[in-house]
Homo-oligomer: A and B are copies of this chain.
Amino acid sequence: MTKRGATLSTSDARRDAVVDAAVAEFARTGFHSTPISAVATRAAISPAYVFKLFPGKVSLFVAALDRCYEQVVHALSNGAARAGDAEPEKILYEMGGAYADLIADRNLLMLQVHAQSAADTPEIADAVRRGLQRVTEFARSRSGAPDDQVQRFLAYGQLCHLITTLDLDTHPGDWAAVLSAGIRHPGKN
């Protein structure tokens, strides 16, 4: 039952809030083990209404993923701005720093990890490719770095995902230190 006196919002604003909730919940528990009800609860909404706003669970996940990559590219752009028109390596380095700052809350990072694992759903695979394309093309054109340096940039980004997923930066043991060395880590929260 709708609460007395509650002001209704436009469905667009609601959709937006639901995507925020979806980013957080899907990042926590992944695609398959996140029930729509968890997203709904976080958005302070009924599960049924989520299905009015999005045609299905997959398209909600894709919307969350799109927002995630949007923020990533935006962060890279900020990092590049910090480097001005320095040499390519310097620009890539600043982008890396900005990325590390962005994923300090772990949400955007874990969402990407979970998305990769859910890529057997074609729509999700498409969304990941789309996002990765934007990131790669932006890094390449904005930095002007040669292809192999761009590739390296992305490779170390993937390594960063692994390190954070497994908390290797706080893990005892030489081997963990080898993998984590020199990589800027997000804090625990």
Contact = CB atoms under 8 A, between A and B. Distances in A.
Interface of A: 28-30, 32-33, 113-114, 116-120, 125, 128-129, 132-133, 136-137, 140, 147-148, 150-152, 154-156, 158-159, 161-162, 165-166, 168, 171, 173-176, 178-179, 181-182
A161 B158 contact: yes
Nearest to A32: B32
B155 A178 contact: no
A137 to B, nearest CB: 5
- Most central of A114, A159, A161 by chain B CB within 10 Å: A159
Q: State the oligomeric state as a number of copies.
A: 2
| 9 pairs of A and B residues whose beta carbons are closest in the complex | A117-B117, A158-B158, A155-B159, A32-B32, A136-B175, A155-B155, A32-B33, A147-B178, A133-B175
A157 B119 CA distance: 18
